[in-house]
């Protein structure tokens, strides 16, 4: 059955034809082994959505009710005895919120601090807030309990328990390899295996060893997760011990679709309304989709359909959660809904682990994830939507069983589930390693000699060092030392190509503009073009269009946005089909980058209307991303001679500049370049002569 036929989605109004035939789900036999009934089922039933079905209990009682509470003395004993320890405990057992507090109360951190890393900023912030609340005595976050994420540092001299993203701890390690500020480092959600966590494993392991050799205060390392390959981790950490905590998760009833559904997004919406019509209002729903575009489209559909008089069910509050949102927006998912209203959270895999969104009783799992993969042979990094792993599927369904028995609707069949990879491939084995190689060099570590838990592919390492050399961050491929430019590049939380652009901008007198473009490139698209209003959107944005390409067009938009008064900005965005949230995020990123530039005493110059200066400046970082027009009107990339086309969404589509610089490659049936500016071929000779010599560049003026 094709479920898309159940929704008649026309231009301006989405009308719901209540399905004569619902999406068919099969219940999975017995619950899988990871999801089991807890003996404390009734005792913990107080955490119902919004607290409106059962009386509230104090936050301290909630802490005492957690499974970890009874074990705290024993756990502290074990933590005291071991310098490195793995702690495994089911989600909701209290690892992330309680263990740092127990350590703090027992003063195991002595004169140092306790760092607790999280793979995502929303988790670091929400958990720090929760723990500050639990810690009590009228203290707020930023006192004893604080957090630090890429654009926000909420800590003070008093802070002893610091939740931070793994990326932030890695940045701190760049300033102090031994992490002497901390006596305890907890690497949480270790199974997520982000590049940063994988690097941190090696960094803390080496810091611990060196501190012991040099008689510094010892560093205690704790690795925590709900699910991970304990033997593999234990071997890596010198055969350290593992402690197992009993969890308290509730049974989750799993349902699979009877038939495959390719349009998983529409199927998620349909499934939501099936639940919506039957479940009590305080049973909230969590939907997993892949990225901002899908999530916002789904949110829009649900909002519209929920208002349809034909649709039964309580009022709905729709919340979205994805990485590109500003912090404040992400935090909105944690706000309680008024009684009698159903909350639906539509999220990427951010909500898969670490965050607790209270009230979730139903999970709808679209079964897909957006993931980045790097191909050293072509030098291209592709963002692809692909099937999740079985491990992710279990994590997702587990979200429904955190506070009471739950339900998970999987928008895939049982056999599709069985075909999924058992576990996800660590990011370090599939990503572009440029930034990480640079960051490690800032720690005086050459990636080839780094003690990895799982080594990344050799050709990815090779490709990263070649790029760093071309960018001028290192003298040659084997060097351990960064050049002075390389040292500065490492200070930016950016791809080295982008840091190089910012650091070249002074020379071209265009730092203002370069900051804007790099901030725009670090965010999700600021353009919103509803299908039904495409012509209108394009005509109102026509005045921003630049014949030089997409980045300059976006720069023109940002420049005008900047001149609009604070109060009028939202309206202006609405009128120009600009995503208000995303452009605020750009503004935020931009000011952070500007701060770093000011620390280097860079002159924040502007090139005004001399856009050539900016185009040249962009080329200083992106000369490896140049493509040349061929006689057959296709483009060939200079680097790998890949045949490509200009993406139809580009402002340069339909024009044929002889040379273009691109920032993204998308592969569908053909290979497309996206995010394009035109450049003059002769600039390449001026800006990247060495690169040209090695790449057989056949530039001729009459091309």
Taking the complex as a whole, the smallest distance from the CB of residue 546 to Mg ion amounts, in Å, to: 47
Out of 95, 120, 171, 317, the residue judged to bind ligand CDP by CB under 6 A: 95
Contact 255, 407 (CB under 8 A): yes
Stretch that binds ligand CDP, among 92-100, 310-318, 511-519, 602-610 (CB under 6 A): 92-100
List the single partner that 615 binds among ligand CDP, Mg ion, none, CB under 5 to 8 Å by kind.
none
Between 15 and 105, whose beta carbon lies closer to ligand CDP? 105
Size, binding site for Mg ion by CB under 5 A: 2
Nearer residue to ligand CDP within complex by CB, 152 or 246: 246
Contact 256, 414 (CB under 8 A): yes
Q: Which phi and psi angles does 284 have, rounded to 5°?
A: -85, 165
Residue closer to ligand CDP (CB basis): 99 or 170: 99
Write down the H helix ranges in 335-419: 390-398, 414-419
**What is the pairing mode between strands 220-225 and 84-89?**
parallel
DSSP state of 332: G
Cα(694)–Cα(64) distance, rounded to whole angstroms? 66
Count of other CB atoms within 10 angstroms of residue 181: 12
Residue 123 CB, nearest approach to ligand CDP (Å): 9
Calpha distance 522→495 (Å, rounded) = 9
Contact 433, 265 (CB under 8 A): no
Which residue has tokens 């810091």?
A: 207
CB of 46 or CB of 649, closer to ligand CDP = 46
> With respect to ligand CDP, which residue has the nearer C-beta, 186 or 254?
186
* Least distance between ligand CDP and beta carbon 89 (Å): 5
Q: Quote the least distance from Cβ 360 to ligand CDP, whole Å.
A: 11
Based on CB atoms, which residue is closest to Mg ion, 96 or 371?
96
Q: What are phi and psi of 536, to 5 degrees?
A: -60, -45
Piece in contact with ligand CDP (CB under 6 A), picked from 84-92, 148-156, 449-457, 506-514: 84-92
Q: Which is nearer to ligand CDP, 109 or 356 (CB)?
A: 356
By CB under 6 A, name the one of 91, 349, 392, 637 that touches ligand CDP.
91
Residue 197 or 265 with smaller CB distance to Mg ion: 197
Two tokens, residue 579: 């995503």
Identify which of residues 358 and 606 has a Cβ nearer to ligand CDP in the complex. 358
Angle at 51 between CA 311 and CA 318, to 5 degrees: 35
Q: Tell me the torsion sign for CA atoms 542, 546, 549, 550.
A: negative
In the window 493-522, what residues touch ligand CDP (CB under 6 A)?
A: none
Give the C-alpha separation, 482 to 496, whole Å.
12
Question: Which of the residues 14 through 53 are near ligand CDP (CB under 6 A)?
Answer: 47
Is residue 130 a contact residue for ligand CDP (CB under 6 A)?
yes
> Which lies closer to ligand CDP via its Cβ, residue 97 or residue 397?
97
Kindly tell me which of 130 and 343 has the beta carbon lying closer to ligand CDP.
130
CA distances from residue 677 to 578, 611, 626 in whole angstroms, order as listed = 21, 11, 10
At its nearest, how many Å lie between ligand CDP and the CB of residue 14? 34
Of 15, 14, 23, 11, the residue nearest 411 (C-alpha): 23
Of residues 398 and 496, the one with the C-beta less far from Mg ion: 398
Residue nearest to Mg ion (CB): 96
Nearest by Cα to 337 from 362, 366, 360:
360
Kind plus residue range of the DSSP H or E element containing 665: strand 659-667
By CB under 6 A, tell whether 159 contacts ligand CDP: no
3-class DSSP assignment, residue 650: coil
Task: Tell me which of 93, 117, 337, 435 binds ligand CDP, using CB under 6 A.
Answer: 93
Q: Using CB under 5 A as the criterion, what x/- string covers residues 82-101 for binding Mg ion?
A: -------------xx-----
Torsion of CA 258, 259, 263, 268, to 10 degrees: 0
**Least spacing, CB of residue 618 vs ligand CDP, in Å:** 42
Contact between 402 and ligand CDP by CB under 6 A: the answer reads: yes
Residues forming a β-bridge with 317: 343
Say how far apart CA 526 and CA 520 lie, in whole Å.
8
Residue 582, binding choice from Mg ion, ligand CDP, none, Cβ under 5 to 8 Å by partner class: none
Interaction residues for Mg ion, span 372-391 (CB under 5 A)? none
* Residue 410 site contact among Mg ion, ligand CDP, none (CB < 5 to 8 Å, cut-off depends on kind): none
Question: Smallest distance from the beta carbon of 62 to ligand CDP, in angstroms?
Answer: 6
Q: Which does 205 bind (CB under 5 to 8 A by kind): ligand CDP, Mg ion, none?
A: none
Q: In angstroms, what is the C-alpha Rg of the chain?
A: 26
CA–CA separation, 703 and 700 (whole Å): 6
Q: Judged by CB under 6 A, does residue 126 bind ligand CDP?
A: yes
**CB of 224 within 8 A of CB of 115?**
no
Cα separation, 394 vs 350, in Å, equals 14
Query: Can you tell me which of 25, 49, 71, 92 binds ligand CDP, judged by CB under 6 A?
Result: 92
Q: What is the C-alpha to C-alpha distance for residues 393 and 368, in angstroms, rounded to an integer?
A: 10
- Partner in contact with 496, chosen from ligand CDP, Mg ion, none, beta carbon below 5 to 8 Å by kind: none
Give the one entry of ligand CDP, Mg ion, none that residue 402 binds, where binding means its C-beta sits below a cut-off of 5 to 8 angstroms depending on kind.
ligand CDP
Neighbours of 1 (CB within 10 A): 14
Q: How many residues bind ligand CDP (CB under 6 A)?
A: 17
Residues that bind ligand CDP (CB under 6 A): 47, 66, 89, 91-98, 126-127, 130, 356, 358, 402
Residues that bind Mg ion (CB under 5 A): 95-96
């Amino acid at each position: 059955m094709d479920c898309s036929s159940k929704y008649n989605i026309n231009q301006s109004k989405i009308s719901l034809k209540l399905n004569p035939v619902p999406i068919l789900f099969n219940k999975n036999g017995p619950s899988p082994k990871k999801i089991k009934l807890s003996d404390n089922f009734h005792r913990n039933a107080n955490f119902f959505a919004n607290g409106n079905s059962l009386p509230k209990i104090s936050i301290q009682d909630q802490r005492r009710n957690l499974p970890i509470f009874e074990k705290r003395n024993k756990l502290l004993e074990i933590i005291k005895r071991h310098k490195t320890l793995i702690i495994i405990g089911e989600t909701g057992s209290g690892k992330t919120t309680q263990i740092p507090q127990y350590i703090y109360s027992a003063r195991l951190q002595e004169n140092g601090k306790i760092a607790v890393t999280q793979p995502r900023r929303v988790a670091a912030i929400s958990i720090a807030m929760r723990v500050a609340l639990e810690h009590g005595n009228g203290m707020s976050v930023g006192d004893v309990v604080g957090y630090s994420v890429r654009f926000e540092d909420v800590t003070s001299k008093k802070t002893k328990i610091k939740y931070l993203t793994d990326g932030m701890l890695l940045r701190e390690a760049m300033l102090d390899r031994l992490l002497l500020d901390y006596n305890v480092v907890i690497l949480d959600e270790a199974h997520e295996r982000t590049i940063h966590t994988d690097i941190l494993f090696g960094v803390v392991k080496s810091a611990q060893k060196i501190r012991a050799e040099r008689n510094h205060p010892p560093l205690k390392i704790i690795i925590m997760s709900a699910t991970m390959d304990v033997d593999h981790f234990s071997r890596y950490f010198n055969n350290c011990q593992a402690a197992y905590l009993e969890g308290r998760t509730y049974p989750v009833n799993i349902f699979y679709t009877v038939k495959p559904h390719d349009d998983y997004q529409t199927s998620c919406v349909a499934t939501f309304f099936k639940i919506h019509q039957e479940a009590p209002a305080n049973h909230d729903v969590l939907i997993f989709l892949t990225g901002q575009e899908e999530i916002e489209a789904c949110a829009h559909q649900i909002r519209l359909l929920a208002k349809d008089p034909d649709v039964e069910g309580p009022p709905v509050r729709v919340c979205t959660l994805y990485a590109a949102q500003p912090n404040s927006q992400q935090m909105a998912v944690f706000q309680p809904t008024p009684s009698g209203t159903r909350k639906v959270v539509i999220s990427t895999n951010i909500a898969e682990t670490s965050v607790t969104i209270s009230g979730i009783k139903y999970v709808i799992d679209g079964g897909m994830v957006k993931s980045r993969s790097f191909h050293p042979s072509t030098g291209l990094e592709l963002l692809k939507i692909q099937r999740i792993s079985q491990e992710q599927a279990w994590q997702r369904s587990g979200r429904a069983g955190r506070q009471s028995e739950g339900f998970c609707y999987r928008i895939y069949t049982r056999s599709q589930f069985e075909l999924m990879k058992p576990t996800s491939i660590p990011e370090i084995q599939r990503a572009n390693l440029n930034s990480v190689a640079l960051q490690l060099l800032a720690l005086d570590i050459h990636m080839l000699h780094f003690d990895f838990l799982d080594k990344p592919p050799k050709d990815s390492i090779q490709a990263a060092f070649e790029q760093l050399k071309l960018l001028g961050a290192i003298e040659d491929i084997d060097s351990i030392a960064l050049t002075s430019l390389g040292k500065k590049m490492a200070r930016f939380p950016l791809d080295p190509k982008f840091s190089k652009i910012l650091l070249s901008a002074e020379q071209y007198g265009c730092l203002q503009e370069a900051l804007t473009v790099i901030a725009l490139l670090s965010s999700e698209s600021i353009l919103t073009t509803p299908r039904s209003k495409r012509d209108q959107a394009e005509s109102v944005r026509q005045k921003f269009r630049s014949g030089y390409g997409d980045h300059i067009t976006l720069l023109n938009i940002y420049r005008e946005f900047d001149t609009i008064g604070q109060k009028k900005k939202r309206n202006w965005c609405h009128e120009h089909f600009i995503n208000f949230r995303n452009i605020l995020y750009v503004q935020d990123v931009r000011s952070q980058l500007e701060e770093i530039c000011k620390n280097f005493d860079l002159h924040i110059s502007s090139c005004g209307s001399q856009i050539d200066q900016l185009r040249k400046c962009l080329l200083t970082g992106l000369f490896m991303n140049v493509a040349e027009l061929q006689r057959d009107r296709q483009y060939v990339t200079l680097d790998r001679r890949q045949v490509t086309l200009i993406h139809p969404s580009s402002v340069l589509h339909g024009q044929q500049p002889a040379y273009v610089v691109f920032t993204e490659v998308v592969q569908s049936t053909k290979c497309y370049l996206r995010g394009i500016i035109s450049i003059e071929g002769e600039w390449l000779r001026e800006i990247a002569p060495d690169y040209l010599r090695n790449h057989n560049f056949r530039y001729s003026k009459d091309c």
